[in-house]
Amino acid sequence: MKKIAMKKNVFLNSIDFSPGIVEYEDFPVQKGIPLSEQIDILKEDLLQVMFYGTKRLVIDLGWYPSFEKKGKFQIRVVEESNWEKFSFYAETDNLEKLHTLLYQAVRYCQKQQA
């Protein structure tokens, strides 16, 4: 597996994903700019973090529906490739709240690996 050493976005750099591995990151959203002005970059595939341990977990972050002003960020934790039922789920259209929710998802995965 290829580990992405540096996350591109300062927003994401403030979150410690360890022992997770950032497998995919395309999160160009900028703090301080209204999301309505960034709608052309808000899509379903923004971030995936893998946790390999006692359980295989994936944090999946995206904007649903893609490119829609009325969309929301959704954070899903998928356990053992079961995309039908999420172990953790949260949504928001607020960037500050997203940071808190993403941190909670990471903590959930870290605890599952302990």
Q: What is the pLDDT along the chain (114 residues), one digit of tens a residue?
A: 344 444 456 678 889 999 999 999 999 998 889 999 999 999 999 999 999 988 899 999 999 999 999 999 999 999 999 999 999 999 999 999 999 999 999 999 999 987
> Is the sign of the CA dihedral 64, 11, 40, 35 positive or negative?
positive
Q: How many Å apart are CA 7 and CA 23, to the nearest integer?
A: 11
Q: Is residue 77 part of a domain?
A: yes
Question: What residue numbers bound the domain in which 79 lies?
Answer: 10-113
Task: Please state the domain count of the chain.
Answer: 1
Q: Is residue 19 part of a domain?
A: yes
Q: Is residue 106 part of a domain?
A: yes
**Structure confidence at residue 54 (pLDDT):** 84
Q: Which residue has the tokens 């709240």?
A: 97
**Structure confidence at residue 1 (pLDDT):** 39
Residue 7 corresponds to which tokens in the numbers above? 């996350």
Q: Is residue 1 part of a domain?
A: no
CA angle, 43 then 27 then 72, to 5° = 45
Q: Is residue 76 part of a domain?
A: yes
Q: Is residue 2 part of a domain?
A: no
Q: Is residue 34 part of a domain?
A: yes
